[in-house]
Structure 1
């Protein structure tokens, strides 16, 4: 239902009852009650005093998830990202995953080998919530489909249950569904049969930066070294001890060779 219809019905009902009452009390506006009811989705801490035009409840929830002001986002790219590395691929290439404290769910950042992603709680209502927002964008915001872009990026990042487990371990995802398989299937199905006319340039730049970083062999070698030999304090200590032992053995061999050469020259 359109928001203005519900608002008019509310105003008619409660204005009449207030006038009929002997002790009229101040009743919150329908917009204030709506904000209070959906407060858990209001990540950007928008207030009723902000200049917001609302079509209906789904539109309001979408607005809550956007970055404000919208002008801070870059222009949109006509070519959608072709390939985002998965979380597992990024980890193998040396990318570190970190939870982002940004209030905006869409605010993914990559800098100096660290990918920051805002925390998302995945629960029973998550699928319905995102499907409604995606369907709404497909009808009214084909050229400003920010939620659809975000879900598409998550679809790239999450390919297997291992990807979900890594995001949960890094507190990027809070899994209330109980198992990783449900989360994987959720994000792999949300972006199916979705039309993309333009893709967010923020995510296009992010895609290029991640692909460039992951394509460097040096980053992969460092990641392998860190994961295989420096994954824990004990493993690091054992690796250092092994290197020191190797150096001492090499020095001992050199000293032995020099001693033999010296004895040969003296004879």
Structure 2
């Protein structure tokens, strides 16, 4: 007689079998944003006017741009006599399986729908890039370039994590439709368009090294690599005797009271934050109503990496957040040329960084700016030491005078 097995045992074993069959060890490159990040503001991660990729495809707010995608497709394909819709479809179909790996497995589009989406969205981005750079390519009645607010919304939408196309798809379509003009270069056009949407001045001068562009996963990833993904030298991490612990931080007003000055630097590279001879220099930050959304999407993209990947965005935000504890701190940063306020009041900027700070945890072992904090603390300890030495000297002089007078 066969012994009857415990029903809970059987159930758990079935669950384990299902888990082992469906488990995937890595996150998709174009992922849905984690729920804990969405809680602050759902709209920070959703497109306002155009969907790119499958995640937001078909939603009511982005349907109005679908006809425009067809117009742009016709323009892109029509510039070269040897091109046809069929050739483009066959080329995109050959990339379909690889492109799917970039997205969550929950995407329900069938093969034909997915190929159509890649072609329409890819050609839309490519024509937008070219029209943004080559103004003579714009149709007179192109509403995107007739209204500045619409163009700004589209730039914002193109930098959302959930609204991306794999870079290799864009690159292939761009090469297929390439014009003879030597300025028709996807890397330069992408950085030119993205640069105007970023909060750092002169962002059109973003790093566009060939290796960085070759390894780009999508447009947001290209922006991330250009602005944040930089390799510090070994000296950067060992200046403070191997310790990367942030023992103490000062607000902007505390630094000003302590004789430390803050200046905006000329560059946009986030690696060029430094402290020398009592002066902290860091790239200026132009804050508008789109800045918080961009920074949140950069954080969300960074969370797609394994835990051993440096958290450049979080470290940068923690660094800036340490300076801002009140509206007085914001005023000091404005006066120092570090913050330009296109958002509204100083209170709004203070609130924005407080919101961002709630989701920021400083890197435990490799904080990017630990040497800057340690240099500030050393400077402050040395300054206090000198001040105490002067007090003691003055005290002794006064005591000597008083003793002599008696």
Bucket of the pairwise TM-score, normalised by the shorter protein: 0.5 to 0.7
Higher normalized contact order (CA 8 Å, seq sep 6+, divided by chain length): 1
- State how far apart, in whole Å, the 2-side matches of 1:141 and 1:44 are: 29
Change in Cα spacing, 1:62 to 1:211, as seen in structure 2 (3 Å) is same
Change in Cα spacing, 1:64 to 1:141, as seen in structure 2 (3 Å) is farther
User: Deviation of residue 101 (structure 1)?
Assistant: 2.3
1:78–1:197 contact (8 Å) kept in structure 2: no
1:38 aligns with 2:194: yes
User: Deviation of residue 50 (structure 1)?
Assistant: 5.1
1:205 aligns with 2:205: no
Q: Figure out how many residues of one structure are paired with residues of the other and give that number.
A: 211
User: Deviation of residue 202 (structure 1)?
Assistant: 4.8
User: Deviation of residue 197 (structure 1)?
Assistant: 4.5
Change in Cα spacing, 1:78 to 1:3, as seen in structure 2 (3 Å) is farther
Moved over 6 A (4+): 218-221
1:146–1:200 contact (8 Å) kept in structure 2: no
User: Deviation of residue 11 (structure 1)?
Assistant: 4.4
Paired position in structure 1 for 2:248: 83
SS in 2 for 1:171: coil
1:122 aligns with 2:287: yes
Match of 1:188 among 347, 354, 373: 354
Higher fraction of strand = 1
2:327–2:346 contact (8 Å) kept in structure 1: yes
Show structure 1 runs of 5+ residues with no match: 16-23, 222-267
TM-score, normalization by structure 2: 0.46
- State how far apart, in whole Å, the 1-side matches of 2:269 and 2:248 are: 24
Paired position in structure 2 for 1:101: 266
Paired position in structure 2 for 1:217: 384
RMSD over aligned Cα atoms = 3.0
Write out aligned runs for 1:122-141 (5 A): 122-140=287-305
- State how far apart, in whole Å, the 2-side matches of 1:205 and 1:107 are: 12
TM-score, normalization by structure 1: 0.67
1:58 aligns with 2:183: no
